[in-house]
């Protein structure tokens, strides 16, 4: 049996990939029409036809594809590149932009007019380098600062409670909740309800600055007599003491202010307070409670300090598709290769419609399954290649590289002999 002579002329279909593409035909052929406004993209998609035609052997055998198949593959390749790079950027900067303002997106995934839109800023947000501001850590610290008594944005309230003779236990939760519901003049009116209050401090008299150094019973020019302290409180002793003792005194400031100056102590369990000793007919008389109200984590607020609107995960980060003009030569070469792999898969799907094609006196077997497998393997390899490179270029990885360079430079400096000066 003689080997049949094949002709480049298609035997089964009149649809054959042309050797060149046309920019004027690209826009109408794009499934998503993401980059129709970019002349550079239209030119790149048209040139991809020639690249695909040569790589798949269009000069020798017919390629059962149209220019539209190539244009669609090129668009998908650009979107895939933008997707992978944006994921990389999300990993880099999410912690720094959590809680920041975001914007709305249209059905194309492009930002609509707003504070962060490219039309207003003059530069696409996807190309910006966010400032490092430990944003996530800062927002976490704001939630704990109140409990550490170092500030924070938690609203703090104060309430007073009258003590009763011979009554040792008081339910602060019930008392404060009742006053919140009845007294409109209170700053926490209507804010407690069934919410659990968080007790921070309890004291019997409004603390005064003088208490820091002078005792409760001190008079003019007389420092409080605390028995074993003589005429002076320990903060006022005139002895030479080491610095660490001063640090201990500073750390015990709260005890000096709220505990040392009182004859009473207390114990709180489940917002129920027990006083020691048991109150008498006139002492302590009244006690003050400093507290906060547990807020709904999702509750909106008019306060600019405790707003919850903004970036909350990767999905709400203002990262739109990367403008084609901003993709450098490295990215565009990756796009060309990925688009070719996509067209291989498409061609494989087309040829898989028929296992073989009859020709005069013979039949030929098509390589559809092989093209599908080859195209998908190349796509997977290209994705992994790009991900590997991007992982090596995260801000964390770059900082580690800088650290290694500095370490190596310091080690190299050690081997350089110092200059000897003779004078």
pLDDT digits (tens, 9 = 90+) for 289-301: 888 887 766 665 5
Angstrom distance (rounded) from CA 97 to CA 90: 10
Angstrom distance (rounded) from CA 271 to CA 202: 12
Residue 93 binned pLDDT confidence (cut-offs 50, 70, 90): confident
Residue 263 binned pLDDT confidence (cut-offs 50, 70, 90): low
Residue 405 resides in a domain:
no
pLDDT score recorded for residue 205: 60
Residue 111 binned pLDDT confidence (cut-offs 50, 70, 90): low
For the chain, how many structural domains are there in total?
1
Angstrom distance (rounded) from CA 294 to CA 368: 64
The parent domain of residue 97 ranges over 23-129+317-398
Counting beta carbons within 10 angstroms of the beta carbon of residue 118, is it exposed (0 to 12), middle (13 to 18) or buried (19 or more)?
Answer: middle
The predicted model gives 28-34 an average pLDDT of: 92
Paired tokens of 73: 């593959």
Give the residues across from 290 on adjacent strands: 158, 201
pLDDT score recorded for residue 411: 86
Residue 280 resides in a domain:
no
What is the average pLDDT value for the chain, to the nearest integer? Answer: 77
How many CA atoms lie less than 13 Å away from 292 in the CB half-sphere? Answer: 15
> Does the pLDDT at position 347 exceed 90?
yes
The predicted model gives 266-275 an average pLDDT of: 88
Residue 125 resides in a domain:
yes
Torsional sign, CA 132, 136, 140, 143: positive
Residue 49 resides in a domain:
yes
Residue 194 binned pLDDT confidence (cut-offs 50, 70, 90): confident
Give the residues across from 157 on adjacent strands: 291
Within 10 angstroms of residue 128's Cβ, the number of other Cβ atoms is: 14
pLDDT score recorded for residue 227: 41
Residue 252 binned pLDDT confidence (cut-offs 50, 70, 90): low
pLDDT score recorded for residue 346: 95
Residue 200 or residue 145, greater confidence: 200
Residue 323 resides in a domain:
yes
Strand order in the sheet with 157-162: 157-162, 286-293, 197-203
Torsional sign, CA 246, 249, 250, 251: positive
Residue 17 resides in a domain:
no
Residue 225 resides in a domain:
no
In tens, the pLDDT along 132-148 reads: 666 666 666 766 776 66
Lowest mean pLDDT among 142-146, 258-262, 405-409: 258-262
Residue 206 binned pLDDT confidence (cut-offs 50, 70, 90): very low
Residue 61 or residue 65, greater confidence: 65
CB–CB of 337/384 below 8 Å?
A: no
Residue 50 resides in a domain:
yes
The predicted model gives 314-328 an average pLDDT of: 85
Angstrom distance (rounded) from CA 180 to CA 189: 4
CA 292 to the chain's CA centroid: 28
Torsional sign, CA 108, 110, 114, 119: negative
Residue 218 or residue 307, greater confidence: 307
Residue 124 or residue 419, greater confidence: 419
Angstrom distance (rounded) from CA 386 to CA 374: 18
pLDDT score recorded for residue 15: 78
pTM for this prediction: 0.63
Nearest to 70 by CA among 109, 31, 98: 31
């Amino acid at each position: 049996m003689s080997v049949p002579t094949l002709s480049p002329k298609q035997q089964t279909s009149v649809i054959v990939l042309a050797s060149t593409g046309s920019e004027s035909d690209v826009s109408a052929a794009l499934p998503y029409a993401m980059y129709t406004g970019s002349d550079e993209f239209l030119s790149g998609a048209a040139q991809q036809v020639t690249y695909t035609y040569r790589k798949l052997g269009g000069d020798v055998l017919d390629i059962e594809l149209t220019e539209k198949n190539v244009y669609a593959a090129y668009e998908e390749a650009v979107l895939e590149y933008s997707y992978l790079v944006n994921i990389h950027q999300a990993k880099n900067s999410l912690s720094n932009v959590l809680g920041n303002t975001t914007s709305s997106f249209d059905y194309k995934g492009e930002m609509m007019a707003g504070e962060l839109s490219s039309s207003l800023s003059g530069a696409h947000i996807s190309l910006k380098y966010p400032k490092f501001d430990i944003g996530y850590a800062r927002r976490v610290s704001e939630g704990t600062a109140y409990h550490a008594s170092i500030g924070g944005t938690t609203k703090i309230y104060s309430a007073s409670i009258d003590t009763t003779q011979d009554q040792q236990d008081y339910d602060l939760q019930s008392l404060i909740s009742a006053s919140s519901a009845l007294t409109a003049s209170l700053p926490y009116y209507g804010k407690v309800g069934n919410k659990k209050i968080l007790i921070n401090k309890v004291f019997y008299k409004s603390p005064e600055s003088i208490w820091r150094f002078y005792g409760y019973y001190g008079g003019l020019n007389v420092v409080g007599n605390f028995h074993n302290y003589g005429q002076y409180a320990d903060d006022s002793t005139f002895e030479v003491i080491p610095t660490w003792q001063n640090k201990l005194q500073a750390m015990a400031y709260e005890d000096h202010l709220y505990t040392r100056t009182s004859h009473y102590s207390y114990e709180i369990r489940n917002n129920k307070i027990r006083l020691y000793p048991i109150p008498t007919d006139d002492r302590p008389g009244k006690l003050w409670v400093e507290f906060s109200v547990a807020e709904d984590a999702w509750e909106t607020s008019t306060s600019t300090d405790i707003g919850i609107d903004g970036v909350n995960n990767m999905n709400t980060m203002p990262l739109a598709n990367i403008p084609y003009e901003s993709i450098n030569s490295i990215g565009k070469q990756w796009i060309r290769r990925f688009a070719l792999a996509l067209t291989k898969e498409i061609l494989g799907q087309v040829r898989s419609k028929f296992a073989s094609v009859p020709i005069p006196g013979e039949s030929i077997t098509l390589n559809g399954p092989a093209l599908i497998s080859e195209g998908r393997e190349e796509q997977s390899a290209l994705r992994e290649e790009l991900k590997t490179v991007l992982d090596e270029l995260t801000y964390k990885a770059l900082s580690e590289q800088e650290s290694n360079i500095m370490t190596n430079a310091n080690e190299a400096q050690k081997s350089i002999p110092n200059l000897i000066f003779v004078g």
